[in-house]
Amino acid sequence: MVDTDIAIIGAGPYGLSAAAHLAPPGRRLRIFGTPMQTWRTRMPAGMHLKSEGFASGLYDPRGKFRLSHYCRERDLPYADFGLPVPLAVFSDYGEEFARRYVPMREEGTVVAVHPVTAGFELVMADGTIVASRRVICANGITDYSIIPQTLQGLPPDIVSHCSAHHDLSGFAGKTVAVVGGGASAADYAALLAQAGATTHLVTRRPSLAFHLPPHRRGLRERAKYPRSTIGPGWNSVFYTKLPQVFHALPEARRLAITRGHLGPAPCWFVRDTVEKNVTVHASAQITAISVKGGRALLQLTNGVLEVDHVLAATGYKTDLSRLNFIGAELQRNIQTDAGGAPKLSASFETSVPGLHFVGAAAANAFGPLLRFACGAHFTAGRLAKSFK
């Protein structure tokens, strides 16, 4: 007995946008997860989005409820460009989107997915079983967080991944080393400093490559670097406008582009706070770490650092073996590419018929666009077309 035609796992921008596009009439759809949970609990309070206002959204089929509409309704400051979007505003907007367009959403965590004759069986944390013909995994990136090998195996009160922290007030009065050279590292470092922590930032890079602040763009610059939702440049325009063409490129080329496009670059608006309040250890690698008296002693290639806590802002890498809810049989049957991400058809379907992955797990297949919330627009539209 099948309970639903489509089950979506995860209620972030991708899951919610897909649900808004695929919703009844005509098909049964269930979506599981707490709306915007990653943004509410796994990103630092006080953060501003890296993506511009016009590129930060969730997507209903008629394009009626963009961030600009929400801000207008609430009388909140908004600009397509140049005005950083507060995390709290984006999270509130996502929750309002869920209330308006995804009334069928259900709180609850999926703890297992098993293949059965008519599709899949989903086991919920409370033991409920849901049978679905198709499953769309929109589970985001938090299961894929990476901690460098040198820092692994230490207790979480000494070393943790930044995605474990939303409220940074507990670090007031502590000394913290943030490891990484990208936007997350700079965001966490700036917010830790503002929260009253003595903050160090350790990066292998010779310097932090902050984005340029908004400025008047002359004709020449606009022609050379046209705007796109993921940043300026002709390559970015191609990746955002034609993800389906990107999908047709040879695998090795796709992986190289997704890996190399848009290197780590902190936002312009945290630059001042970082430069004034954070000690940056550039061209530095951590070669060893030891724990003494509840503090961490870091051996750097160019010095020594003693801190209360090490925060790894060292990114994410799709690795299906880390998804506990994908059972052993499915793990064996999902074909992956050389980068460890699932191989996907043009409708985001894995080698297991009826099982789909969207969001960052689909970036090797469809390009850098899928690493950003704005990729949910293309994704939801594509799913809606494929499931007609």
Sites of contact with ligand FAD (CB under 6 A):
9-15, 32-33, 37-39, 43, 49-51, 56, 109-110, 138-142, 184, 325, 359, 372-374
Instruction: Take residue 190 and report the two structure tokens written for it.
Output: 């700036």
What does the buried/exposed string (b/e) look like for 135-153 if buried means 16 or more CB atoms within 10 Å of the residue's CB? Answer: bbbbbbbbbbbebeebbee
CA distances (Å), origin 240, targets 65, 290, 369, 380, 382: 21, 44, 6, 14, 14
CA distance 81 to 227: 10
Q: DSSP class of residue 88?
A: H
Alpha-carbon dihedral of residues 194, 188, 264, 368, nearest 10 degrees? -120
| One-letter amino acid for residue 23 of the chain | A
Q: How many CB atoms lie within 10 A of CB 42?
A: 17
213 Cβ neighbours under 8 A, 6+ residues apart: 268, 269
CA 257 to chain centre: 18
280 backbone φψ class: left, alpha, beta (φ>0; ψ -120 to 50): beta
CA distance 290 to 292: 7
CA distances (Å), origin 237, targets 110, 229, 327, 380: 36, 8, 38, 19
